[in-house]
Chains A and B, each alone.
Chain A
Amino acid sequence: MVTTADKSAGTRKITIEPVTRVEGHGKVTLLLDDKNKVRQARLHIVEFRGFERFIQGRPYWEVPVMVQRLCGICPVSHHLAAAKAMDWIVGGEKLTPTAEKLRRLMHYGQMFQSHALHFFHLVSPDLLFGFDADPAVRNVIGVAAKFPDLAVQGVMMRKFGQEIIKATAGKKIHGTGAIPGGVNKNLSTQERDFFLKDMEQMLVWARSALKIAKDYTAAHLAELKDFGSFESNHLSLVRADGAMDLYHGVLRAVDSQGKKVLNDVDYQGYFQHIAEEVRDWSYMKFPFMKAIGPEAGWYRVGPLARVNTCDFIDTPEADAALKEFKALTGGKPNNITMAYHWARMIETLHSAEKINALLHDKDLQGTDLVVKGPRREEGVGLIEAPRGTLFHHYRVNKQDQVVMANLIVSTTSNNEPMNRAVQKVAQDYISGKPEITEGLLNRIEVAIRAYDPCLSCATHALGRMPLDVEIVDCEGSVVDRRQRD
């Protein structure tokens, strides 16, 4: 934290920079008045990249490989969303069973590893040691020292998911498995057997991680219920029959009471329903549902949104967990920000169940890999990335070059919600306090971390992982700042 007080104005600004244990680079500024009341709290994303511009002119088949360089954490999401858009370009959107199942396996592998990374490496220090614990201990090394079994579990779950990505995409990070209209390989029986031997252990660990998240939420419900929480819309893809589907489906959004405000929307026309607002203080845009408008049409995406929008889960253990989750709020959408962790672990178990089922499916050894049909000049690809709904939209000219690209990344959709969470925590825990401790500021980061934001993806920007909180006086000058490298 960096604090700069302006005594003459009686005000100050606190800056938390960088925000730690998130993917990408961001900062938080808190603007306090002369009574230490928080007047404004903002999460700023300070990165900029511009992928949408520099892929223009490139051949369309290059895009799924190129755009995944946006990110090193869930590049598979960008790879697959772009490939799904390019399926439309080549008229190959109805994939062969082998191609679709191989892509799904890749995606569930990614979901499994990304959620494990977030839960064990980035979040568990807050949950295990408490928000006010010494930051020297409140980190992944501290977890490894005090809870070595959990640390190993996190590493091994991530490894398993990464190995699945390698088997399906050729590399653990930035592979080439999905191509327009299909995939470039199947899964050999040798590769399948390599995963089957560890499958049962992964299911056991996914169950135990779910139990940790669920028990933590139940044990701390009184505090967590309002912690950075607020009512909101929730948006995700769901399967046509209302099941959770992380790879494909139709768009659905529900409001805070569960009323469907978007339903059965074919995502090829997403732009008729979703728009993005630009604000001058952030490189990250603010998406909203057009029918409701920018003031109230913003929505949450990601695990919490997905468990709120879906009617059921098509794998038995995750479905049972979903029922338990929904029972907490009487079947209405859950608006507790910290419930993201519980929802994320339900999805982790769902992914493990899906991987297990796919590994037993002989279609993965099929040889019919690519399908093509009438060529189109425009295509949209959506996928449920670990952090939420990911939109890729391209136009391609007759010479096969990309002429327009629009990406709406999960964290971008969560921009307004994260800002709301920061404002809520700042008001509840910091406003009016004579002294602002590291633990209080960490609460802001805890609320941001619940969303598992990927700030690099959201601005399509190169970056480090850190955060920055600033307190600004009412005149706008910085009076306090907390910064971490």
Chain B
Amino acid sequence: MSATFTFTIDGKEIKASPGQTIMEAAEAAGVYIPRLCYSKDLRPHGSCRVCTCMVNGRPQAACTQPAAAGMVVDNNTDEIQAIRRDLVDMLFVDGNHFCPFCEKSGNCELQAMAYRLGITAPRFPYLWPERSVDASHPEVFIDRNRCILCGRCVNASKDIDGKNVFQFVGRGEHKRVAVNAEALAADTDLKGADRASMVCPVGAIVLKYKGYATPIGRRIYDQKPIGSEIESRRK
């Protein structure tokens, strides 16, 4: 194995191994870089851009950009946090997100990210898109109103489940996650136990009959903000 090297994030020296992304090296060092589409066990997708950092003065997605010796990374600056707030704000108005009754509330990464970034209300006009719901599957409920196009389900189905159940179709504002069937999820070989059924960061793909089973106060983000589990590793 090649020798480790160092670079800096917000002035702090970070150790990294060749091939590690900025995100991976930061996480190992207990530095949290906000992210939504990234999931540790999946190939980085680089689509949400919430992990954007200034790398040697240029904006780069930390989840896809390999770390390099001597790199200077700005993560937690006012300028970058403002960019992240805009990105997350746009995700909220781009879909139909009703946190007050969404079963993912308290466990939702998008909602938790908004809280972490200090977003209390959207600043952009709602687009109120028409999105479909697919309740056909006996174990999984799909609500595209809440989809943020992170691609986790697509990659998990392909790379972990070996099934290719989900795929993106359409372009631009018409882009959406489709199922690999004539019409409905019930016609695919998707199972509730599949990784693809469990990786959704929002409430777009949820297991049926589980909603609200965890009381308020004991949900993932009720006690600590998103990212605090990574920051707690910081020495």
Chain A residues close to B by CB (< 8 Å)? 57, 59, 61-62, 64-66, 69, 169-171, 174-177, 179, 184-185, 399-401
A400 contacts B216, CB within 8 Å? no
B217 contacts A170, CB within 8 Å? yes
Q: From B100, B209, B217, give the contact of A69 (CB < 8 A).
A: B100
- On chain A, the residues within 8 Å of B212 by CB distance are 61, 64-65, 176, 179, 184
Q: How far is the CA of A264 from the CA of B208 in the complex (A)?
A: 36
A62 contacts B211, CB within 8 Å? yes
**Segment from B18-26, B69-77, B78-86, B133-141 that makes contact with A:** B133-141
B218 to chain A, nearest CB (A): 8
Q: How far is the CA of A171 from the CA of B217 in the complex (A)?
A: 9
Q: How far is the CA of A182 from the CA of B136 in the complex (A)?
A: 25
A382 to chain B, nearest CB (A): 22
Q: Does B170 contact A (CB under 8 A)?
A: no
A171 to chain B, nearest CB (A): 6
B135 to chain A, nearest CB (A): 4
A61 contacts B215, CB within 8 Å? no
B215 contacts A176, CB within 8 Å? yes
B101 contacts A61, CB within 8 Å? no
Max chain B CB contacts within 10 Å: which of A64, A69, A171, A399? A399
What residue of chain A has the Cβ atom nearest to residue B141's Cβ?
A59
Interface 1/0 per residue, B200-216 and A, CB below 8 Å: 00000000110111111
A170 contacts B215, CB within 8 Å? yes
Could you say which interface size class chain B belongs to?
10 to 19
Q: How far is the CA of A120 from the CA of B208 in the complex (A)?
A: 44
B9 to chain A, nearest CB (A): 37
Q: Does B103 contact A (CB under 8 A)?
A: yes
B211 contacts A177, CB within 8 Å? no
Query: Considering the complex, which residues of chain B in the window 176-222 have a beta carbon less than 8 Å from any beta carbon of chain A?
Result: 208-209, 211-217
A59 contacts B135, CB within 8 Å? yes
Q: How far is the CA of A178 from the CA of B212 in the complex (A)?
A: 9
11 contacts between A and B (CB under 8 A): A57-B133, A61-B211, A61-B212, A65-B103, A66-B101, A171-B216, A174-B100, A177-B215, A179-B211, A184-B212, A400-B135
Max chain B CB contacts within 10 Å: which of A61, A66, A69, A185? A61
Q: How far is the CA of A170 from the CA of B211 in the complex (A)?
A: 15
- On chain A, the residues within 8 Å of B101 by CB distance are 62, 65-66, 69
Q: How far is the CA of A175 from the CA of B212 in the complex (A)?
A: 10
- On chain B, the residues within 8 Å of A184 by CB distance are 212-215
Max chain B CB contacts within 10 Å: which of A59, A175, A185, A401? A59
- On chain B, the residues within 8 Å of A401 by CB distance are 133, 135
Q: How far is the CA of A66 from the CA of B214 in the complex (A)?
A: 16
- On chain A, the residues within 8 Å of B141 by CB distance are 59, 400
